[in-house]
C-alpha cells in the first residue's frame, strides 16, 4: 500500500492508527480487509474514547485520497466509517460524527458523480441512526444546499443526471428525517432552508407523467419506483416533509410552493399546481388545513392584478383545497374565504367592465378574449363558493347565505357591503347574477326544519326585491334559490317541466302537514311570495324557463306551505294571472298572454288534485278539455312548442275557456272552505322600492291601496272627499318629492293596519269597498282628458265612443283613492 511505513516505525505509532492502516489492502480492488476491520471495530467499542481520534485519522486519509483521485481507497474508507458508525452507540460517538460529516462533505464537494452518490448513501445511513441525545450545535446548512443543488443536476449524460438527482432527493430526505423529529433543533424549517428544499422537490416532481395517477392520500410506492423514478421519490419526500410540519412551520413549508409555481408559470395551465396542493392537503394534519387555505387566499390577493388565467388557476387550486378541507377541520376561515372570493368576484367584474368601456367603438379581439378569461375567473369563484358552502353544516350555511345576500346590490338601499360604484349598470347586473349563482350553489341541498329558518326576513326581503327582477336571468336565479329552500322533500324533480298532469298521484309527492311555524310564516310573508310570482308573470322578456320556474314555485308552495287560507290565496293569484292575460293592461305579446293562461291551467290542474275537491277537479278538467278542443294554445303542451299557432286576439273567446271565480267558490264552499275572500280580486302589495324604481313593469302597474284606518266609513269617504283641481294642486301632484314624507307616513299607517289588525276586520272592510272600487277604477282607467279645456270652464271626456261634458273644472270630485 502506498505510504506504508517500515516495521520499526509502524510499531511506534499509536494502536488506533495501526488498526486503521491495516484495513486498507495493498490493492484497493481487493476491498476492505474484513479481519482487520473486525479488530478495529472491537477496539472502538472497547475504547469509545478513541473514536474521535479514529474518525479524525480516517478523515485525513480520505481527504488525501480524494485529492489524489484514489477512488478505491475512498470507497474503503467510507465503508469502514459506515461500519463503525453502525456499531458504536455511545456518548463518545458525537466527535466521531463530526469527522464523519466532514468526510461526507468532502465527497459531496468533489466533482465526480460516483463520489457524490457515495457520500449521499453514507449520509442516508447516518440519518437513519437514532442518537441517544441530540446535538444542538450541529447544523446541516451545507448539506441542504448541496443536496438541493444535486436535485437540479444538468449533467449531459441522462443516466448520470438521473442518479445525481435521485441522490440529491435521498439526501434531502435524510436531512429531514435527521432534524425534523427534534423540536428543539428545528433549523430545517427556517425559510432559507425551505426555499431550497421545497423547490428542489417540486422541480423533480414536474418530470412525472400522468400526475393524476397519484391523486389522493399519501401512497406507498414500491422500493423499485423510489429508486428508479426521481419524480416518485421527490413526491414521497414532499409528503413526508409536509406530514411532519406543525402549525408554526406551515407557512415556511407552503410559501415556497407558491414561489415555485409563480417563477415557472405553472398557474396556466394549472394541472401541476392542483396536483401539488392535493398532495399538501392530504399530507398535512387535518387541523392545519385552514392554514393552507389562508395562505392561498393571501397569494390570491397578492396576484390580483395578474392575468385572468393566472387568477383562475389560483382559484381552482383553492377549490381543490377547500374540497378536501371541508371534509375535516376548516377552522375560523369560513367568512374569510367567502369575503375574499366575493372581493375578487367584484374585481373581476370591474376588470371586465373596464375592458368593455375601453373598447367601445372598436373591434378588439384581445378584449373579447380577456372578457372570456374573466368569465373563467368568475365561474371558478362561483364553483369554489358553492362547493365550500354546500359542505358546511346547516348552521354555518345559513350564516353564509345571509352573508352573500348582504353583498347583493339592491336598488335604493345601501345595506350591501360590496362596492359597485365603479361598475355601472351593466357591471352591477353582472355582480347580481354572479352572487345569485353563488347563492344558488350554497343553498343546494339545504334542508331546514322550518321555513322561517331557511327564509328569514332579512334574507327574503332583498331576495324578492324588484331590483332582482331587472331581466329574465335574475328572475330565474331568484326562483331557483327559492326552490332550493322551500323544497324540503325533494319534490322539485317530479315537477320539472310545465304540463297538464293527468294524475298527480302517480308523482308520489312527499308532503307533511304544515307546521304552526310555517303557517305563521305564510301569514307574515305569503304576500311577498305571491307578489313576486304575480309580477314575474307580467315581464315581457320571460322565456319558457321562466314560466316553468313560476309554475314550480306555485306547486312547491302548495306542497310545503299550503293550508286552507293559503290555498284560497293561491287561487286568487291564479285568477289574477288569468285576468292579466285577458285584460292585457300591460300590452303583453300574444305568446306571453297564452303562456300565462297555460301556466294558470297547469297549476290549477295540479292544485285541484292536491286538495282533492271533486267539484273543483270537475270544473278544472272541463275547462282543460274545452281548451284542448277549441284553444290548444292555452295549454303548456302546445304553447311551448317551436311552431304554435297563436290567436289574433282573446276578446272573442267564450267563458268556458276560463276558470271562473264563482264556479270555484261554489265548488270549494261545498267542501267547507271559507270562500268569502275569493270574491276580493288579488292586488299585489306596493313597496317603497316599487315607487323608487324606474322599471316599466313596476311604474306602469296601477296598484290601489285602500285606506282602512280606524273610524273611517268607506262609502262616506268616497262621497264626501273632494279636492279642488287648480294649477297649484296639479303641480303638487306632479312634484312627488314635495309629498314624499306625507306619502311615506300614510303608507306606514296602511301597512301597520294590515300587519296588526285581525284578518276578519280587514276582509270585511275590503269587501264593503270591493264592488264600488272595481267599477270606479274601470271608469278612471278608461277616461281620457282632451286638452285644452273649453272656454266655458269645462273639460271634455271621452269614454269608448261616447263624449261627455264634465262639471266645471273647479268642482270635479274624485273618489278617495290612493293611486301610485
Angle between helices 271-283 and 250-263 (to 10 degrees): 170
The answer to whether residue 803 is domain-embedded is no
Least confident of 228-242, 635-649, 746-760: 746-760
pLDDT tens-digit map of 141-194: 899 999 999 999 998 999 999 999 999 999 999 998 888 765 545 578 889 999
Confidence class for position 544, pLDDT limits 50, 70, 90: very high
CA–CA separation, 693 and 810 (whole Å): 33
Q: For residue 706, what are the contacts with CB-CB under 8 A and spacing of at least 6?
A: 714, 765, 766, 769, 773, 818
Give the rounded percent of residues in the chain with a pLDDT score beyond 90.
37
Number of domains making up the chain: 2
* Among candidate residues 557, 650, 640, 645, the one with its CA nearest the CA of residue 603: 557
3-state SS record for 578-620: HHHHHHCCCCCCHHHHHHHHHHHHHHHHHHHHHHCCHHHHHHH
CA–CA separation, 473 and 432 (whole Å): 10
The separation between CA 117 and the C-alpha centre of its own chain, rounded to angstroms, equals 49
Cβ pair 233, 166 in contact under 8 A: yes
Q: For 799, what's the count of Cα atoms within 13 Å in the CB-facing half-sphere? A: 11
Least confident of 79-93, 211-225, 274-288, 477-491: 211-225
CA–CA separation, 434 and 431 (whole Å): 5
The answer to whether residue 603 is domain-embedded is yes
Q: For residue 692, what are the contacts with CB-CB under 8 A and spacing of at least 6?
A: 411, 412
Note down the domain range covering 671: 485-692
Cβ pair 44, 3 in contact under 8 A: no
Residue 8 has pLDDT above 90, yes or no: no
Higher pLDDT: 772 or 44? It is 44
The stretches of 229-364 forming alpha helices (DSSP H) are: 230-243, 250-263, 271-283, 289-302, 308-325, 334-358
pLDDT of residue 526: 93
The answer to whether residue 337 is domain-embedded is no
Mean pLDDT, the chain, rounded, equals 79
The answer to whether residue 549 is domain-embedded is yes
The answer to whether residue 755 is domain-embedded is no
Cβ pair 233, 169 in contact under 8 A: yes
pLDDT of residue 460: 92
**DSSP label at 393?**
-
The separation between CA 384 and the C-alpha centre of its own chain, rounded to angstroms, equals 4
The sign of the dihedral angle between the CA atoms of 575, 704, 758, 680 is negative
End of a domain among 103, 133, 163?
133
* Among candidate residues 375, 246, 365, 384, the one with its CA nearest the CA of residue 326: 384
Cβ pair 747, 705 in contact under 8 A: yes
Highest mean pLDDT among 369-383, 605-619, 685-699, 777-791: 605-619
Q: What mean pLDDT is predicted for residues 453-480?
A: 90
* Among candidate residues 145, 149, 239, 139, the one with its CA nearest the CA of residue 192: 145
| Bridge partners, 285 (sequence order) | none
Least confident of 70-74, 471-475, 630-634, 759-763: 759-763
Give the three-class secondary structure for 792.
Answer: coil
pLDDT tens-digit map of 99-108: 788 888 888 9
Highest mean pLDDT among 21-30, 213-222, 328-337: 21-30
CA–CA separation, 542 and 580 (whole Å): 15
pLDDT of residue 792: 43
* Helix %, strand %, coil % of the chain (to 5): 65, 0, 30
Give the pTM.
Answer: 0.72
Residue 6 has pLDDT above 60, yes or no: no
What is the distance in angstroms between the CA of the first residue and the CA of the last residue of the chain? 114
Residue 364 has pLDDT above 80, yes or no: no
Q: For residue 10, what are the contacts with CB-CB under 8 A and spacing of at least 6?
A: 4, 18, 21
Residue 472 has pLDDT above 70, yes or no: yes
pLDDT tens-digit map of 181-205: 655 455 788 899 999 999 999 999 9
The answer to whether residue 819 is domain-embedded is no
Least confident of 76-90, 490-504, 573-587: 76-90
Highest mean pLDDT among 410-419, 487-496, 725-734, 764-773: 487-496
Cβ pair 648, 659 in contact under 8 A: no
Pairing of strands 704-705, 784-785: unpaired
Residue 701 has pLDDT above 80, yes or no: no
Higher pLDDT: 286 or 605? It is 605
DSSP states of 62-96: HHHHHHTT-HHHHHHHHHHHHHHHHH--STTHHHH
End of a domain among 671, 692, 713?
692
The stretches of 487-589 forming alpha helices (DSSP H) are: 516-537, 544-561, 564-583
C-alpha distances in Å from residue 524, one per residue of 342, 675, 815:
32, 21, 30
Residue 224 has pLDDT above 80, yes or no: no
The answer to whether residue 631 is domain-embedded is yes
pLDDT of residue 186: 55
Q: What mean pLDDT is predicted for residues 62-87?
A: 81
Higher pLDDT: 493 or 66? It is 493
C-alpha distances in Å from residue 599, one per residue of 102, 331, 540, 651:
87, 47, 15, 19
CA–CA separation, 560 and 491 (whole Å): 10
The answer to whether residue 605 is domain-embedded is yes
Highest mean pLDDT among 343-352, 446-455, 566-575, 683-692: 566-575
Confidence class for position 71, pLDDT limits 50, 70, 90: confident
Higher pLDDT: 535 or 689? It is 535
pLDDT of residue 134: 63
Tell me phi and psi for residue 798, to 5 degrees. -125, 125
Higher pLDDT: 367 or 39? It is 39
Radius of gyration of the chain, Cα coordinates, nearest whole angstrom: 42
pLDDT tens-digit map of 609-667: 999 999 999 999 999 999 999 999 999 999 998 778 888 888 777 889 999 999 999 99
pLDDT of residue 38: 85
End of a domain among 133, 148, 163?
133
Higher pLDDT: 685 or 279? It is 279
Which run of H or of E encompasses 798?
A: strand 794-799
Confidence class for position 608, pLDDT limits 50, 70, 90: very high
Higher pLDDT: 770 or 650? It is 650
Spell 577-595 as b/e; 16+ CB within 10 A means b: bbbbbeebeeebeeebbbb
Cβ pair 611, 567 in contact under 8 A: yes
Tell me phi and psi for residue 805, to 5 degrees. -95, 125
Cβ pair 555, 603 in contact under 8 A: yes
Confidence class for position 395, pLDDT limits 50, 70, 90: confident
| Cis amide linkage into residue 788, ω under 30° from 0 | yes
pLDDT tens-digit map of 708-749: 333 333 333 333 333 445 545 545 555 545 556 667 667 777
pLDDT tens-digit map of 293-343: 889 999 999 999 899 999 999 999 998 888 887 665 555 667 888 888 888
Q: For 626, what's the count of Cα atoms within 13 Å in the CB-facing half-sphere? A: 14
CA–CA separation, 35 and 26 (whole Å): 15
Amino acid at each position: 500500500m502506498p505510504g506504508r511505513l517500515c516495521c520499526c516505525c509502524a510499531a511506534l505509532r499509536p494502536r488506533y492508527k495501526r488498526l486503521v492502516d491495516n484495513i486498507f489492502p495493498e490493492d484497493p480492488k481487493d476491498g476492505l480487509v474484513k479481519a482487520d476491520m473486525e479488530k478495529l471495530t472491537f477496539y472502538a467499542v472497547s475504547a469509545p474514547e478513541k473514536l474521535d481520534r479514529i474518525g479524525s485519522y480516517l478523515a485525513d486519509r480520505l481527504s488525501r485520497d480524494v485529492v489524489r483521485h484514489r477512488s478505491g481507497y475512498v470507497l474503503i474508507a467510507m465503508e469502514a466509517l459506515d461500519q463503525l458508525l453502525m456499531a458504536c452507540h455511545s456518548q463518545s460517538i458525537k466527535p466521531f460524527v463530526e469527522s464523519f460529516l466532514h468526510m461526507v462533505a468532502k465527497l459531496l464537494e468533489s466533482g465526480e458523480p460516483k463520489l457524490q452518490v457515495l457520500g449521499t448513501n453514507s449520509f442516508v445511513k447516518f440519518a437513519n441512526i437514532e442518537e441517544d441525545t441530540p446535538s444542538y450545535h450541529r447544523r446541516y446548512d451545507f448539506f441542504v444546499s448541496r443536496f438541493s443543488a444535486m436535485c437540479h443536476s444538468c449533467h449531459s449524460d441522462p443516466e448520470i443526471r438521473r442518479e445525481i438527482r435521485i441522490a440529491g432527493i435521498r439526501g434531502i430526505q435524510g436531512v429531514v428525517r435527521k432534524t425534523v423529529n427534534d423540536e428543539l433543533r428545528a433549523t430545517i424549517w427556517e425559510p432559507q432552508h425551505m426555499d431550497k428544499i421545497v423547490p428542489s422537490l417540486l422541480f423533480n416532481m414536474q418530470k412525472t407523467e400522468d400526475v393524476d395517477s397519484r391523486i389522493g392520500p399519501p401512497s406507498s410506492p414500491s422500493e423499485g419506483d423510489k429508486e428508479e423514478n426521481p419524480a416518485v421519490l421527490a413526491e414521497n419526500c414532499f409528503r413526508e416533509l409536509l406530514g411532519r410540519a406543525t402549525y408554526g412551520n406551515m407557512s415556511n413549508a407552503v410559501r415556497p410552493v407558491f414561489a415555485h409555481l409563480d417563477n415557472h408559470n405553472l398557474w396556466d395551465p394549472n394541472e401541476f399546481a392542483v396536483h401539488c396542493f392535493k398532495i399538501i392537503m392530504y399530507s398535512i394534519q387535518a387541523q392545519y388545513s385552514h392554514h393552507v387555505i389562508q395562505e392561498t387566499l393571501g397569494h390570491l390577493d397578492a396576484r390580483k392584478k395578474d392575468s385572468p388565467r393566472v387568477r383562475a388557476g389560483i382559484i381552482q387550486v383553492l377549490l381543490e383545497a377547500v374540497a378536501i378541507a371541508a371534509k375535516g377541520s376548516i377552522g375560523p376561515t369560513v367568512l374569510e374565504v367567502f369575503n375574499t372570493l366575493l372581493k375578487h368576484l367584484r374585481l373581476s367584474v370591474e376588470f371586465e367592465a373596464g375592458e368593455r368601456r375601453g373598447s367601445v367603438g372598436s373591434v378588439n379581439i384581445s378584449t373579447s378574449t380577456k372578457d372570456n378569461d374573466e368569465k373563467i375567473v368568475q365561474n371558478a369563484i362561483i364553483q369554489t363558493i358553492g362547493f365550500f358552502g354546500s359542505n358546511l353544516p346547516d348552521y354555518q350555511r345559513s350564516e353564509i347565505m345571509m352573508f352573500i345576500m348582504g353583498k347583493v346590490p339592491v336598488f335604493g338601499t345601501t345595506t350591501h357591503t360590496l362596492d359597485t360604484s365603479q361598475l355601472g349598470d351593466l357591471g352591477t347586473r353582472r355582480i347580481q347574477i354572479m352572487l345569485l349563482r353563488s347563492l344558488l350553489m350554497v343553498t343546494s341541498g339545504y334542508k331546514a326544519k322550518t321555513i322561517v329558518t331557511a327564509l328569514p326576513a332579512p334574507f327574503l326581503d332583498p331576495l324578492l326585491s324588484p331590483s332582482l327582477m331587472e331581466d329574465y336571468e335574475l328572475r330565474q336565479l331568484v326562483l331557483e334559490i327559492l326552490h332550493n329552500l322551500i323544497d324540503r322533500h325533494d319534490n322539485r324533480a317530479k315537477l320539472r317541466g310545465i304540463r297538464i298532469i293527468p294524475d298527480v298521484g302517480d308523482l308520489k309527492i312527499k308532503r307533511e302537514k304544515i307546521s304552526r311555524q310555517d303557517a305563521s310564516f305564510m301569514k307574515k310573508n305569503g304576500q311577498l311570495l305571491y307578489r313576486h310570482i304575480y309580477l314575474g308573470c307580467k315581464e315581457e322578456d320571460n322565456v319558457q324557463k321562466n314560466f316553468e320556474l313560476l309554475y314550480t314555485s306555485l306547486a312547491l308552495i302548495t306542497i310545503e306551505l299550503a293550508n286552507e287560507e293559503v290555498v284560497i290565496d293561491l287561487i286568487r293569484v291564479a285568477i289574477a294571472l288569468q285576468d292579466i292575460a285577458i285584460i292585457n293592461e300591460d300590452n303583453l305579446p300574444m305568446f306571453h298572454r297564452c303562456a300565462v293562461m297555460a301556466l294558470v291551467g297547469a297549476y290549477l290542474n295540479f292544485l285541484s288534485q292536491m286538495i282533492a275537491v271533486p267539484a273543483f277537479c270537475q270544473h278544472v278538467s272541463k275547462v282543460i278539455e274545452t281548451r284542448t278542443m277549441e284553444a290548444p294554445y292555452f295549454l303548456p303542451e302546445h304553447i311551448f312548442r317551436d311552431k304554435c299557432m297563436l290567436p289574433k286576439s282573446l276578446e272573442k273567446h267564450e267563458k268556458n275557456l276560463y276558470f271562473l271565480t264563482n264556479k270555484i267558490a261554489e265548488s270549494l264552499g261545498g267542501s267547507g272552505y271559507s270562500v268569502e275572500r275569493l270574491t276580493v280580486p288579488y292586488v299585489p302589495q306596493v313597496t317603497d322600492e316599487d315607487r323608487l324604481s324606474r322599471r316599466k313593469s313596476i311604474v306602469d302597474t296601477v296598484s290601489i291601496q285602500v285606506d282602512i284606518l280606524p273610524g273611517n266609513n268607506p262609502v262616506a269617504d268616497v262621497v264626501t272627499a273632494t279636492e279642488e283641481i287648480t294649477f297649484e294642486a296639479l303641480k303638487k301632484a306632479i312634484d312627488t318629492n314635495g309629498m314624499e314624507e306625507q306619502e311615506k307616513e300614510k303608507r306606514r299607517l296602511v301597512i301597520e293596519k294590515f300587519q296588526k289588525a285581525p284578518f276578519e276586520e280587514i276582509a270585511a272592510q275590503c269587501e264593503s269597498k270591493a264592488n264600488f272600487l272595481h267599477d270606479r277604477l274601470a271608469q278612471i282607467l278608461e277616461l281620457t282628458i282632451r286638452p285644452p279645456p273649453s272656454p266655458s270652464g269645462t273639460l271634455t271626456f271621452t269614454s269608448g265612443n261616447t263624449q261627455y261634458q264634465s262639471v266645471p273644472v273647479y268642482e270635479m270630485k274624485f273618489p278617495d283613492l290612493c293611486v301610485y
